[in-house]
Amino acid sequence: MKKYWLVGASAAIALSALPINGSPAIAQIFNTGSAIAQTVLQQPNVILNLVADQQTVKTDPQGKTVVAWQPVDGKVQAKPGDIFRFTVTSKNEGKREAKNVAITQPVPQGTVYQLNSATISQGIAATYSIDQGKTFVARPVVKVTLPNGTIEERPAPAEAYTNVRWTLSQSLKPDASAIAAYQVKVR
């Protein structure tokens, strides 16, 4: 049995072809492939765009602290204590609703997740990982051994967070977007 690969859009579809001696004609195989390719083109196509901004803090003439965000373009000289915001925009550029959309972002090495900084819009739930993205929960905990030997669960410290995930509770309709953001501090 031979396998033929048809590549359409971004998907590769394997078709198992029966021997050509009388069953199915090559035209039928290509027509089936064309129908499958059309179906693939009709599917959701969620595109992600990641943008980074650096926080700047200044004092205005009245002595009031003003926080602003400057887009990061190119190389940045980051120093300990600098805060960055990562914003992920996901847009469904396909023809059908995208169901079960989940956006996962790592906390970059050399940074610490800023607790409670993940934006949560209506219909979006944020969960977090402290094990390099293997598991996600709303409130990560760590086990701490107390001096008396008792093991107790406590909220995970910011330094333990490795990933942030946003899950959309509703489908992402064609041409619709969802935006999620989080902040980190340079170690």
- How does pLDDT run across 129-174, given as a tens digit for each residue? 999 999 999 999 999 999 999 999 999 999 999 999 999 999 999 9
Relative to beta strand 111-113, strand 83-92 is unpaired
Q: What's the average model confidence in pLDDT over 108-117?
A: 97
pLDDT confidence tier of residue 120, bands split at 50, 70 and 90: confident
Which is more confident, 12 or 1? 1
The whole-chain average pLDDT of the chain stands at: 83
pLDDT given for residue 73 in this prediction: 86
pLDDT given for residue 12 in this prediction: 28
Q: Could you report the per-residue pLDDT of 28-62, keeping only the tens digit for each?
A: 545 555 555 555 556 889 999 999 999 999 999 99
pLDDT given for residue 31 in this prediction: 52
Strand order, beta sheet including 83-92: 65-71, 46-59, 83-92, 177-186, 111-113
Selection from 131, 126, 134, 133 nearest residue 165 by Cα: 126
pLDDT given for residue 170 in this prediction: 93
